[in-house]
Structure 1
Amino acid sequence: MGVQTSALTNGFTAGTIQPGDFCMKIEAVDLFCGVGGLTCGLRQAGIAVLAGYDIDPACTYPYEENNKASFQLKSVSEVTGEEIAKWYSPGAIRLLAGCAPCQPFSTLANTRDEKDEAKWGLLGEFARLVRELKPELVTMENVPRVTNHAPYRQFLETLRELEYEVDAKRVRCADYGIPQERRRFVLVASRMGPIKLRKPAEGEYRTVRDAIQHLPPLAAGETDRNDRLHKARSLTPINLERIRASKPGGTWEDWPQELRAPCHRAATGASFRSVYARMTWDRPAPTMTTQCFNFGTGRFGHPEQDRAISLREAAILQSFPDDYRFSRPGDKVFFSSVGRMVGNAVPPGPMLPT
């Protein structure tokens, strides 16, 4: 697949920053690292990621096992710029990267109080670390609506006060080779000169077929003998009938009346067309959520097989490598735990700067 990197692993290009000249000298620390999606993409781009910070202990094994970087079980609010500085080698171009938790800025945030520091403060902590460390490069990713809220405006103001060159925009991940219709907001900043995010690639996008057709077939409730993550959730008898009646790209309206749930028959049922639904082979997948393994919570039905997508398929559609490990050998694989890791991750690739 070559060198790849995500929307957030991004635009260290243009002006004085060229990947061919500098990538081997760039060293990064990943804030809010989770399972390591952003770190994985940065490493694929040739950037040395030294450490990741997160408060979820379940991410320790997959982060360190896949990325060979140190996982720090610590809240970003407790970290200082002095501590972060100790990770970098003398003379390195220092990149501070991160994706602050996006829940406060999602569509559910309409009724929330922006003055509530407990809900809004982590992007401010990121800004504090930028101010204390003054790294040469900064990058962040979040939901598109983050730009509507005060914490983002304050973050941007901090960068401008510190004389960073900034480029930021909303992106459709499918335009950058990621096989899903995820929308995100991406920012890159540099104290070394102008910097630009990569332009969307023209031409064909990667599809569900491109990403997962090569995996062995499964039945609902089955686990592949060679990959414990290629595991499909069981379906109740009625949901098995429903998925058999579902067309790729269709809705519950394709079902006979006896299979429709009461919520579908209600006047408001028209707003639920993307649940209990199959993906389409020749389109990008929908956004992978923390419930992407569940047929009833979105368009997460396999395009052809009578089941929801497996955890491995979800991870690949999130652009993780096929062999990315999410649990220790011998440990039981839990749908809820791995689904949360996958759904909350920054897609690793591909979005290499030009």
Structure 2
Amino acid sequence: MRDVACIDLFCGAGGLTHGLQREGINVVAGVDVEETCRHPFEFNNSAEFINEDVSRVSGGRLKELYGSAEIKVLAGCAPCQPFSTYSQRYDVLSSPRWGLLYQFDRLVRELQPEIVTMENVPTVVKHTVFDDFSASLESQGYVVHRGVIDCTRYGLPQTRKRMVLLASRLGPIHVIEPDGRKVSTVREAIGRLPPISHGESHDADALHTASRLSPLNIERIRASKPGGTWRDWPADLVADCHRKESGRTYPGVYGRMEWDAPSPTLTTQYYGFGNGRFGHPDQERAISLREGAILQGFPTSYSFVPEGGSIHFKTLGRMIGNAVPVTLGEVIGRSINRHLIEMYQARPENKEMAPKDDSRSALVA
């Protein structure tokens, strides 16, 4: 797209950027506090990585990156942990991450981009900071659209729901509707990957590596049914915590995925069999780091560590689990494209010659 430039705040490994670039959105830079994200972001995307805390980035610095673009897009996903249902059990208000949406708002005020987009967990709508963010955009003249997206309806092989906000100074904007495609499954996503054992890495792809299981967990996964729970096990395999009344209400751990259904929502610890229903459908192991990345919409060739680099489960699990799914990035990119086409067609001088197709070239000279 000509005359459009985007900056991705909280860019992480580049899931949102990759999806936007696939749809022709010119992402010029990403900002993230985690230096480990530099390699995946820059290696797989045509954009600059800025290792900086968003709260310390000035609008003036980002304005230079936009250059002379006619349409500036500011995108991002502030860390979702403070807004998740799980985190509400703890004191998250004291976390500096809680206020990052206010920093996002500050940069909107300093940059005045034509389009703003963010995504987060659906429960973000319960928090004042999100209402403040939306109200601030409206007070600045943006038309704001916000709604929860079921990513399975757009082709992601994972039951992941996200709140997506789109705001434009140009006019009404909304998320495109699903195209009616059938739901993608775990089998379609990872069924062709070569088998590996627990604790093993595949020679051709270091990221296709699975965490090691204890002897007890090997017995447990052998007793687990796809889509089942630990309640299917013999009594001697059930963990002590699940025998207690307080633990019996947590069946969604120590389970296998189902081949012919989407995966459950991936967390930052999806590589661990005991951390959710993350067991492989038929192999005796949790899903590999690569399989998790594919379920997040990343292509099989997406590089997360330099060639020969060390594979750290905790670091890569957090990076991949926290990523905006590439598929969702594509949906947001197509929504922005559609909006810009509609706004172009609405200009009085262009009504007679406006393009009628759904081209990805949103701005025409």
What is the TM-score normalised by the length of structure 2?
0.87
For structure 2, list consecutive stretches of 5 or more residues without a partner in the other structure: 339-365
Aligned-pair distance for 1:272?
2.1
C-alpha distance in 2 between matches for 1:295 and 1:111: 24
State the one-letter code of the partner of 2:286: A
Conserved? CA contact 1:172–1:184, under 8 Å: yes
C-alpha distance in 1 between matches for 2:197 and 2:114: 50
Conserved? CA contact 1:25–1:47, under 8 Å: no
Equivalence for 2:121: 143
C-alpha distance in 2 between matches for 1:344 and 1:117: 17
The secondary structure found in structure 2 opposite 1:95 is strand
For structure 1, list consecutive stretches of 5 or more residues without a partner in the other structure: 1-22
Q: Which contiguous aligned blocks of 4+ residues in structure 1 show a shift greater than 6 angstroms?
A: none
Aligned-pair distance for 1:203?
4.7
Equivalence for 2:358: none
Equivalence for 1:109: 88
Indicate yes or no: 2:234 matched with 1:252: no
Residue among 127, 130, 140 paired with 1:162? 140
Superposition CA RMSD, Å: 1.5
The aligned length equals 331
C-alpha distance in 2 between matches for 1:111 and 1:60: 31
Residue among 217, 234, 238 paired with 2:212? 234
Larger relative CO (CA 8 A, sep 6+): 1 or 2? Answer: 1
Aligned-pair distance for 1:97?
0.4
Residue among 16, 25, 39 paired with 1:61? 39
Equivalence for 1:33: 11
Equivalence for 1:12: none
**Residues 84, 229 of structure 1: alpha-carbon distance in 2 compared, 3 angstrom cutoff:** same
Aligned-pair distance for 1:48?
1.1
Equivalence for 1:289: 267
Per-residue deviation, residues 96-144 of structure 1 (Å, max 9, x unmatched): 0001111221112366475x58342210010011111110111001111
The secondary structure found in structure 1 opposite 2:66 is coil
Range with greater deviation from structure 2 (310-319 or 143-152): 143-152
Residue among 310, 317, 327 paired with 1:332? 310
* Identical columns (%): 51
C-alpha distance in 1 between matches for 2:31 and 2:326: 17
The secondary structure found in structure 2 opposite 1:85 is helix
Equivalence for 2:199: 221
Conserved? CA contact 1:250–1:277, under 8 Å: yes
Aligned-pair distance for 1:36?
0.8
The secondary structure found in structure 1 opposite 2:124 is helix
Per-residue deviation, residues 3-60 of structure 1 (Å, max 9, x unmatched): xxxxxxxxxxxxxxxxxxxx44321101011111111111111111111111111111
What is the TM-score normalised by the length of structure 1?
0.90
State the one-letter code of the partner of 2:201: T
C-alpha distance in 1 between matches for 2:259 and 2:179: 21
The secondary structure found in structure 2 opposite 1:210 is helix
C-alpha distance in 1 between matches for 2:232 and 2:92: 42
**Residues 117, 158 of structure 1: alpha-carbon distance in 2 compared, 3 angstrom cutoff:** farther
State the one-letter code of the partner of 1:216: P
The secondary structure found in structure 2 opposite 1:86 is helix
State the one-letter code of the partner of 1:28: C
**Residues 229, 163 of structure 1: alpha-carbon distance in 2 compared, 3 angstrom cutoff:** same
Indicate yes or no: 2:140 matched with 1:171: no
Aligned-pair distance for 1:218?
0.9
